[in-house]
Amino acid sequence: MSREIVEAAESILDKPVQVLDHGFVTLVEYMGGDASIVKAARNCVGITDEVRTREEDVSLIRYLLRNKHTSPFEFVEMIFHMKMPVFVARQMIRHRTASVSEASARYSPVKEEFYIPDKHHINFQSALNNQGGMWVAPEEIQHRFQEIEEYLARASFEAYNTFIGKEPSVQILEKDVFDGLVTSGGIARETARIMLPLAMYTSWYWKMDLHNLMHLLKLRMDSHAQSEIREYANIMFTMAKKVAPITMEAFEDFELFSMTLTKDDIAAITSLRNHAKKGTDDDDVLKRFKTRREKAEFLEKITELGLLDLLYAKHP
């Protein structure tokens, strides 16, 4: 293994990609790429021969990923500079295997930047899916939401800036009180910030190896993730494709767009197929599922596979 320079990755270094109204993701540094994954894996299996074809690399990387030989992917690192609302940061920080250096609201004042969702992010609560919002809200309500949220955020920052002694608001403190506050240094930033909303922006450097990044992307590009964090994840994914294109294609094939059949799914398909060959119906096939959700998911899966009509082999 020696220094890998990946041209496609070099070409996007230090170029911020905008997200939401004030956010961004920038790839500021990377280490390694598909080639270093291959080298780490080859040391493991004892192949020291340096000559190899692209096909062998593709085959090896895809084999590793499919069989959960995850260590070699840890040899690729990416550092992102990101700006995102606090509620997005709170979701992302749950991924514990990153290194993070976040802007501290204790050390320096928070800039007056907060997230106002675009209308397509303001939806009705889904009754089926507790996590998200799917049905479009009327424009009138979307607009009112933006208005109220902006009003509240501005009011919060007005109070915050007043109390840290930065910009006086006469509605909050009389002039002489404000002047006294400024002279004394203002209320501690760490205390004043508690009135700011979860919509306020924060920023950090985020370092993650490719194995752990794929895990994050799998969860955060998913349709169950909140739409805002999905936008960040999608950009990180695009950047990872520049650094390690073979790996990320394998990730799409084996993780993003794969399907897991449970033990019961397998037994059910086999049984349905056997019945179909005999021209009979397996009337009990759905009884094997231990929960309602698993039964529903099974039906979704065989629909996607084009196997739904196996259920009605006898009486199509």
Give the contact letters, 240-259, x = binds to a second copy (CB under 8 A), - = no: ------------xxx-xxxx
- Name the one range near a second copy by CB under 8 A: 17-25, 130-138, 235-243, 278-286: 130-138
Close Cβ partners of 166 (under 8 Å, ≥ 6 residues apart): 109, 186
The alpha-carbon radius of gyration of the chain (Å, integer) is: 26
Q: Does 90 help bind a second copy (rule: CB under 8 A)? A: yes
Q: Does 71 help bind a second copy (rule: CB under 8 A)? A: yes
Going by C-alpha positions, the residue among 293, 275, 294 that lies closest to residue 284 is: 275
Measured distance CA(254)–CA(3) in Å, rounded? 28
Q: What is the DSSP letter of 86?
A: H
Closest CB 238 distance from a second copy, rounded Å: 18
Q: Does 28 help bind a second copy (rule: CB under 8 A)? A: yes
**Selected binder of a second copy within 25, 32, 213, 247 (CB under 8 A):** 32
Question: Residue 107, exposed/middle/buried by CB under 10 A (0-12, 13-18, 19+)?
Answer: exposed
Touching a second copy, residues 137-156 (CB under 8 A): 137-138, 140-141, 144-145, 148-149, 152-153, 155-156
Going by C-alpha positions, the residue among 275, 292, 246 that lies closest to residue 54 is: 246
Residue 293 annotated as catalytic: no
Q: Does 113 help bind a second copy (rule: CB under 8 A)? A: no
Q: Does 17 help bind a second copy (rule: CB under 8 A)? A: no
**Selected binder of a second copy within 23, 24, 35, 36 (CB under 8 A):** 36
Neighbours of 60 (CB within 10 A): 21
Tokens of 105: 């609201």
Of 106, 144, 220, 288, which residue is the catalytic one?
Answer: 220
Number of residues located near a second copy, criterion CB under 8 A = 140
Q: Does 53 help bind a second copy (rule: CB under 8 A)? A: no
Closest CB 18 distance from a second copy, rounded Å: 19
Measured distance CA(221)–CA(292) in Å, rounded? 26
In the bound state with a second copy, the residue whose beta carbon lies nearer, of 218 and 234, is 218
Going by C-alpha positions, the residue among 14, 55, 57 that lies closest to residue 33 is: 57
Active site residues: 220
